Amino acid sequence: MQNNKVLSKNIKNYIVVGISLLLYILIGYFTERSQFIGFITLYFIAFLAFIFLYLNNKNDTNFKLLINISILFKLVLLFSIPNLSNDFYRFIWDGRMILLGYNPFLYLPNEIINTEIFSKLGADAMELYNGQGSLSPGNYTCYPPLNQFFFLISVLIFPESIFGSIVVLRILMILADIGTIHFGRKILRKLNLPQSNILLYALNPFIIIELTVNLHFEGITIFFLIIAIYFILKNNLLKSAIWLSLSISIKLIPLIILPVFLRKLGQRGILKYSLIVLLITVILFLPFLSPELITNFISSIDLYFRKFEFNASIYYIIRWIGYQTIGWNIIEKVGTLLGLTVFFIVIMLSIIRKNELPKRMMETMLFAVVIYYFLSTTVHPWYIAVPLILSVFTRYRFMIVWSFTIMLSYFAYGNDSFQENYWLVFIEYTAVIGFLIFEVFKSKSQPIKSQPNRLSST
């Protein structure tokens, strides 16, 4: 009888895995981002399959097999060209600029299209330029130095092939994902949490699509960040700071969690840690350093806070109030103010919460990043990959809800005017915030019990 149950369970697993495999092939190879209804339907089914596989296998040894299956899903997508995002064109553009000896932080694609530099970028240079769309060519690159290193690797191996560079970038992304799973399981063991929690990241179709298919470098950011967290839990300040520096040099978002280490490291410890992070980050910028770099990089960040708007929550409410009261968009003032508000909230969370407790520290990191995105003017789907992985190491599951609902934002890609559907935005954030409130109230009856794990500052 028991053998029959196991057989039946395995058959269901194989069927769902097979369906998932087909869905990822359809999404990765045959779905355009303009096909919103088709895409969201396929994603909905893939997400149901993910939930089934997780719930059906989280309490037994099958989760190890499912980790390997999650890697298989990504390997099947190895040769797909990203159809849901065009960011990879700028990645390859920057890489080729470096290969030619030009600093990508100093040149706008719009400025060099009719110059000798453009002719050196290759026979497919116009494809690279047009593929970036209308926005990217008019802005300086916003990708930090270590990001640029990976772009360079892709074009060193395939200097004249966009497709070849895509495959290289995807291999790097899959390798980083394997590393994240490996160190993620180590962290879960250290926190005495089920190792199967890592399936919430590894099997999640959001991760497979946004990181593997679309090649967003949050995947490599996460890999370095998870190693940094692992070493800080092991009380190895130096190694943790090195890896956090690497993470920041891919995407700046890990900077937000730096103050959270205050109560674990102590005042002297956090000072040492921050100085190491700062020093290594500066060293990584040195190959590109120039007065113009600082100006151009800051201008790119300023654009994010004061110009760009997409899939926001609290900001959209504030913007609506602004229109009703003074009659125009107040993003230039509010964007900066919201950034300062996030900084203040994160500092307060770092001081008042008992972050010397490892599990509490992980929760504070999660909330710090989530608050940042709740107050942001722009939240592209792939942005939430970082809080999603952090949630794996906590008791909160609202990020799983968000990893589903945030894909509703792809509606904007389904029309030529890039117009958002605010009802879909409302549904997205109502579901996420509602589930978050439910979990917060539920957690009050389940206090964290853990011994402090403070790193000596001597």
Question: What's the chain's average pLDDT?
Answer: 91
Does residue 352 fall inside a structural domain? no
Does residue 206 fall inside a structural domain? yes
Name the token pair of 135.
Answer: 């926005």
pLDDT at residue 152, rounded to an integer = 97
Does residue 207 fall inside a structural domain? yes
What is the pTM (predicted TM-score) of this model? 0.94
Whether 63 has a pLDDT exceeding 90, the answer reads no
Does residue 230 fall inside a structural domain? no
Does residue 366 fall inside a structural domain? no
User: Tokens 């060209």 sit at which residue?
Assistant: 81
Does residue 10 fall inside a structural domain? yes
Tell me how far apart the alpha carbons of residues 359 and 354 are, in angstroms, rounded to a whole number.
10
Confidence bin at 3 (pLDDT 50/70/90): low
Range of the domain at 19: 2-83+184-215
- Counted domains in the chain: 1
Look at the chain and count its residues: 458
On whether the CB atoms of residues 56 and 11 are closer than 8 A, the answer is no
**For 286-317, how does the pLDDT look when each residue is reduced to its tens digit (9 = 90+)?**
998 888 777 877 777 766 666 778 999 999 99
pLDDT at residue 339, rounded to an integer = 84
Does residue 9 fall inside a structural domain? yes
pLDDT at residue 48, rounded to an integer = 98
Q: Answer with the residue of higher pLDDT: 366 or 450.
A: 366
Q: Answer with the residue of higher pLDDT: 251 or 3.
A: 251
Does residue 22 fall inside a structural domain? yes
